[in-house]
Structure 1
Amino acid sequence: MTKTVIAVGGHIGDMELTAGPTLAKVVLEGGRAIIIDCTYGERGHPTIAPSVYREQKVREAQFFADTIGAELITLDYSDGFLPDDEAVAEQIAAVIREAKPDILITHWLRSMHRDHERAALAAERGAFLASIPIEEIDVERHSVPTILHAENWEDMEGFEADTFFEIPDEAFELWRTGIQEHAFARGETYGFRFIDYYSALMQVKGCLVGAQRAAAFKSAGTEKFALAGP
């Protein structure tokens, strides 16, 4: 059965990195994947001015989306300044109403990054807003069946994975090709080897579920969900 998945991240690169393999899997299986990046992530480079890095980040995000066959939406907020208000949640709700996702993926609610926490709250709030009637009676509401939090080494306080998606080789290779375009993922910003870390993490999680690779998530209290195998 075809699935639609929306992934909401605090910065360009967050959901590409953590949810990207699962999104690639969804597309390969005939589903629809949408990435919503809440900020440009333009303050994440120690030697490039934010205005210049912003343009680079947008190019990187589009390359990744094109590589795995996902749709990309970048909200117009600055890195480090994502507001905690209804406007962000309503923008996400509008996408949810249109796309009617089976799964919504976002950050875990506790993180070292405020933008991650606010993006997660906005995603959950957006899911609620999408589920209730609004004045425009011709706009359908939609209740997201499953909300998941992606495993991210920056968001690990209290995180315990309970949902695992097997990642086939083709999805992994598409993810790796796409994420390799991101300078931060290659370790060119602050030296952390993101690609190596998440590649190894998928193998570790795969060991837990009898697969070569798997992506791990924490459910938000909704019904657990399993995507079909490769």
Structure 2
Amino acid sequence: MTPTVLAVGGHIGDMELTAGPTLAKVALEGGRAIIIDCTYGERGHPTISPSAYRQQKIDEARFFADTIGAELHLLDYSDGFLPDTEDVAEQIAAIIRDTQPDTLITHWLHSMHRDHERAAQAALRGAFLASIPIEEVSAERHSVRSILHAENWEDMDGFDADTFYEIPDEAYERWRTGIGAHAFARGETYGFRYIDYYSALMEVKGCLAGCRRAAAFQASSHEKFALAGP
């Protein structure tokens, strides 16, 4: 049975960058890859107005999803202002119930970005809400079997990779094409060479995993998160 993998990011571009190669691999192998971007990430350009960059980010997200063969869900929240409320978790829970993913990928819980932390917390809370019976919700409940935190250079406080997925050449190339449409990833916003960094990181992790390229994750432990039983 081919897997369904759902990735939840704080901004457009976060999961595309970090979980994107794995999502491309899933799609190539006949699985279902899904991205939820919680905010538009529209305040991340030093010279383009947030309103103009917002539309550019949406276009970039759609191009990436089309390129790797993923489904895209955009939540209507503003960059830097993702709320710490049940509303976000309930939106994610509704998508989990509808798509029934086998694996959930999100940020590590400790980050320099509040939107990253809140997206991760909402993803975990959403997975819990999706797994329990709620009479007011007609959709079938669903328990995600595995939850992974993506490796992100901005989310490294206490992160310790323990799960590796080999990234084949075709998945890597689709990811390169898709992420290359993102201005920030090309280094056009604040100069960080994201594509070079994550390409090199996959090579390094591939050395550890015994393959050419690998994406690294940390599995959620039961001490951090517990799903309700079926």
- TM-score interval w.r.t. the shorter chain? over 0.9
In structure 2, how many angstroms separate the alpha carbons of the residues matched to 1:127 and 1:43?
Answer: 28
| Structure 1 unaligned residues grouped into runs of 5+ | 223-230
- The alignment partner of 1:76 has SS state of strand
What's the counterpart of residue 2 of structure 1?
Answer: 2
What's the counterpart of residue 50 of structure 1?
Answer: 50
Deviation track 1:130-170 (CA, whole Å, cap 9, x = no partner) reads 00011146421001000000000000000000000000000
In structure 1, how many angstroms separate the alpha carbons of the residues matched to 2:145 and 2:133?
Answer: 17
What's the counterpart of residue 23 of structure 1?
Answer: 23
What's the counterpart of residue 157 of structure 1?
Answer: 157
- The alignment partner of 2:155 has SS state of coil
AA aligned to 2:36 is I
In structure 1, how many angstroms separate the alpha carbons of the residues matched to 2:90 and 2:62?
Answer: 23
AA aligned to 1:25 is K
Name the % identity: 81
AA aligned to 1:45 is H
- The alignment partner of 2:108 has SS state of coil
- When the two chains are superposed, the root-mean-square deviation of aligned CA atoms in Å is 0.8
In structure 2, how many angstroms separate the alpha carbons of the residues matched to 1:209 and 1:65?
Answer: 27
TM-score w.r.t. structure 1 length?
Answer: 0.95
AA aligned to 1:183 is A
What's the counterpart of residue 175 of structure 1?
Answer: 175
In structure 1, how many angstroms separate the alpha carbons of the residues matched to 2:138 and 2:113?
Answer: 38
In structure 1, how many angstroms separate the alpha carbons of the residues matched to 2:203 and 2:98?
Answer: 35
AA aligned to 2:118 is R
What's the counterpart of residue 208 of structure 1?
Answer: 208
- Alignment: residue pair count: 222
In structure 1, how many angstroms separate the alpha carbons of the residues matched to 2:124 and 2:168?
Answer: 29
TM-score w.r.t. structure 2 length?
Answer: 0.95
- Is 1:59 paired with 2:63? no
AA aligned to 1:58 is I
What's the counterpart of residue 105 of structure 1?
Answer: 105
- The alignment partner of 2:202 has SS state of helix
What's the counterpart of residue 227 of structure 2?
Answer: none
What's the counterpart of residue 225 of structure 2?
Answer: none
AA aligned to 1:200 is A
